[in-house]
Amino acid sequence: MDDNDVPYHKRLKEPPVQNITPSTSRGTYNSTYPLTPPVTTKVGIKYRIGIVSDMDHSSKSKTEDFTWISYLLRGYVVWNPVSNSVNVFWDDTKPVILKSSLGESGRGMELSEMIVFNGKLYAVDDRTGMLFEIDNNGVIPWVVLQDGNGRVAKGFKCEWAAVKQQKLYVGGLGKEWTNHEGDTLNLHPLWVKTITATGEVNHLNWHDNYLSLRSAIGIEFPGYMSHEAGVWSDVHNRWFFLPRRCSKERYNPDLDEKRSCNVLLNADEDFNNIKVTYVGEITPTHGFSSFRFVPGTSDRIIVALKSVEDAGLTATYIMAFDVTGKIILEETKVADFKYEGLEFI
**pLDDT confidence of residue 26:** 59
Q: Is residue 147 part of a domain?
A: yes
Contacting residues for 255 by C-beta, under 8 A, at least 6 apart: 247, 249
Residues 195 and 167: beta-carbon distance below 8 Å = yes
Q: Is 200 annotated as a binding residue?
A: no
Centroid of chain to Cα 139:
16
Q: Is residue 242 part of a domain?
A: yes
Express each pLDDT in 238-261 by its tens digit: 999 999 999 999 999 999 999 999
Q: Is residue 129 part of a domain?
A: yes
- Cα torsion 50, 323, 318, 140 to 10°: value is 30
Q: Is residue 160 part of a domain?
A: yes
Name the 3-class secondary structure at 34. Answer: coil
- Whole domain around residue 255: which residue ranges? 28-344
Q: Is 176 annotated as a binding residue?
A: no
Q: Is residue 40 part of a domain?
A: yes
Centroid of chain to Cα 227:
10
Number of domains forming the structure of the chain: 1
Q: Is residue 289 part of a domain?
A: yes
Q: pLDDT in tens for each of the 345 residues of the chain?
A: 555 555 544 444 544 434 444 445 556 999 999 999 999 999 999 999 999 999 999 999 999 999 999 999 999 999 999 999 999 999 999 999 999 999 999 999 999 999 999 999 999 999 999 999 999 999 999 999 999 999 999 999 999 999 999 999 999 999 999 999 999 999 999 999 999 999 999 999 999 999 999 999 999 999 999 999 999 999 999 999 999 999 999 999 999 999 999 999 999 999 999 999 999 999 999 999 999 999 999 999 999 999 999 988 999 999 999 999 999 999 999 999 999 999 999
Residues 259 and 175: beta-carbon distance below 8 Å = no
Q: How many helices (H) and strands (E) does the chain have?
A: 3, 24
Number of neighbouring beta carbons within 10 Å of residue 322:
18
CATH code for the domain in which residue 306 is found: 2.120.10.100
Name the 3-class secondary structure at 65. Answer: coil
Residues 192 and 206: beta-carbon distance below 8 Å = yes
Q: Is residue 17 part of a domain?
A: no
Q: Is residue 187 part of a domain?
A: yes
Q: Is 289 annotated as a binding residue?
A: yes
